[in-house]
Amino acid sequence: MEIVFASRHESSPHAWVHALQQALPEHRVRLWDAEGPAGQADAAVVWAPPAGLFAREPRLKYLFNLGAGVDALLTLPGLPDAVTLVRMEDGGMAVQMAEYVLHYLIRQSRDLGRYAGFQAQAAWRPLDDIEREAWPVGVMGAGVMGARVAQACAALEYPVAVWSRSGREVAGAQAYGQAQLPQFLARTRVLVNVLPLTDDTRGILCRATFEQLRPDAYVINIARGEHLVAADLLACLDSGRVRGAALDAFEQEPLPPSHPFWADRRIEVTPHIAGASLMGLTVQQIAGKVRAVVRGEPITGVVDRARQY
Ligand code: GLV
């Protein structure tokens, strides 16, 4: 196979090409070159690929996305119908997302943020003991990442539920299907979003959703900014319905300096780092899939375009 690596955002594209070539010595891996002659690539490894990719690489049969979310890929102008899209299923992301969620969950449930203030006053002031039953976690999304997040919270004995289109079971968590969203929200205080962005999930973190949560709720969004209706979150923070939020993804990235989220003490902003694709694991996963494709075997992670993930 000839494989081209094409990304507008990747700061070290040569390192990716090198790692892919090392993992796939029997194939040819090269860097996308907008100036060079039209290519003969059979597959492309992409993250925010350049606009000219499809016109210049007419033989492409596979597009391997460096991320789990393919929302941006699906709306690329010129994306040929016949290209098989493959999303990253983990690439080291799931465990990082679990860490991220545990961090913000525990800061809330243990009130750990308050001790810094006490320390500044040299005050020895133990807060109340934790009551895990008071912090039921609800994870939206039961794929590789949602499951890992849910299991991590369950391992620390928080009551955990997962909600997904399919109602998929996750060990240690209570599973809710699509039609059971109201029941899922009603038992949830810490709402974690790990859903793919689709026409059905856009704007799902809105006032109607927040108002169904348990009182004094907390919201963690580690999926896409478009899942969240920013004005609704701010209104629910003001009304006290939601106590705070940890947000890692935004409609516009980087988040503009003038955005109200930056200065809001109830919101913790992180720059889309909750679950990064780690080069070694990502390359291993893509190499395994390339080899399976060449052997004519089925692969997982193939995007269903009608479902949008
Ligand atoms: C990151 O946002 C991803 O889609 O993997």
Instruction: Show the domains of the chain with their CATH numbers.
Output: 2-91+277-294 (3.40.50.720), 93-269 (3.40.50.720)
Residue nearest (by alpha carbon) to ligand 1 atom 4: 69
Please determine, for residue 194, whether its predicted confidence score (pLDDT) is greater than 80.
yes
> Strand pairing of 28-31 and 2-7?
parallel
Q: Compute the average pLDDT of residues 50-77.
A: 94
The reply to whether ligand 1 has any atom less than 6 angstroms from the CB of 92 is no
In eight-state DSSP terms, residue 128 is P
Residue nearest (by alpha carbon) to ligand 1 atom 3: 67
Which of 27, 103, 272, 291 is flagged as catalytic?
272
Please determine, for residue 36, whether its predicted confidence score (pLDDT) is greater than 80.
no
Please determine, for residue 186, whether its predicted confidence score (pLDDT) is greater than 90.
yes
Active site residue 272: yes
**Encoded tokens for 21:** 């070539």
**Rounded to whole angstroms, how far apart are CA atoms 7 and 4?**
10
Please determine, for residue 10, whether its predicted confidence score (pLDDT) is greater than 90.
no
Place 37 in a pLDDT band, splitting at 50, 70 and 90.
Answer: confident
Q: Compute the average pLDDT of residues 64-90.
A: 95
The reply to whether ligand 1 has any atom less than 6 angstroms from the CB of 69 is yes
Q: Which of 64, 73, 89, 93 to mutate to test the pocket of ligand 1 (most atoms within 8 A of CB)?
A: 93
Task: Tell me how far the alpha carbon of residue 97 lies from the centroid of ligand 1, in angstroms.
Answer: 11
Please determine, for residue 196, whether its predicted confidence score (pLDDT) is greater than 80.
yes
Identify the pLDDT of residue 34: 86
Identify the pLDDT of residue 208: 98
| Residue environment code for 144-155, b if the CB has 16+ CB neighbours within 10 A, otherwise e | bbbbbbbbbbbe
Task: Tell me how far the alpha carbon of residue 241 lies from the centroid of ligand 1, in angstroms.
Answer: 29
**Which residues face 193 on adjacent strands?**
140, 221
Task: Tell me how far the alpha carbon of residue 66 lies from the centroid of ligand 1, in angstroms.
Answer: 8
Please determine, for residue 287, whether its predicted confidence score (pLDDT) is greater than 90.
yes
What rounded mean pLDDT belongs to the chain?
Answer: 96
Place 11 in a pLDDT band, splitting at 50, 70 and 90.
Answer: confident
**Rounded to whole angstroms, how far apart are CA atoms 195 and 95?**
16
Residue nearest (by alpha carbon) to ligand 1 atom 5: 67
Q: Tell me the per-residue pLDDT of 226-275, one tens digit each, with 9 for 90 and over.
A: 999 999 999 999 999 999 999 999 999 999 999 999 999 999 999 999 99
- Enumerate residues 6+ apart whose C-beta is below 8 A from 231: none
Please determine, for residue 162, whether its predicted confidence score (pLDDT) is greater than 90.
yes
> Strand pairing of 137-140 and 84-86?
unpaired
Place 105 in a pLDDT band, splitting at 50, 70 and 90.
Answer: very high
In eight-state DSSP terms, residue 226 is G
**Rounded to whole angstroms, how far apart are CA atoms 307 and 297?**
23
**CA torsion angle 29 35 39 42 (round to 10):** 50
Q: Tell me the per-residue pLDDT of 120-131, one tens digit each, with 9 for 90 and over.
A: 999 999 999 989
Q: Are 77 and 130 in contact (CB under 8 A)?
A: no
**Which residues face 113 on adjacent strands?**
none
Please determine, for residue 83, whether its predicted confidence score (pLDDT) is greater than 80.
yes
Task: Tell me how far the alpha carbon of residue 202 lies from the centroid of ligand 1, in angstroms.
Answer: 16
Residue 67 alpha carbon, nearest atom of ligand 1: 5
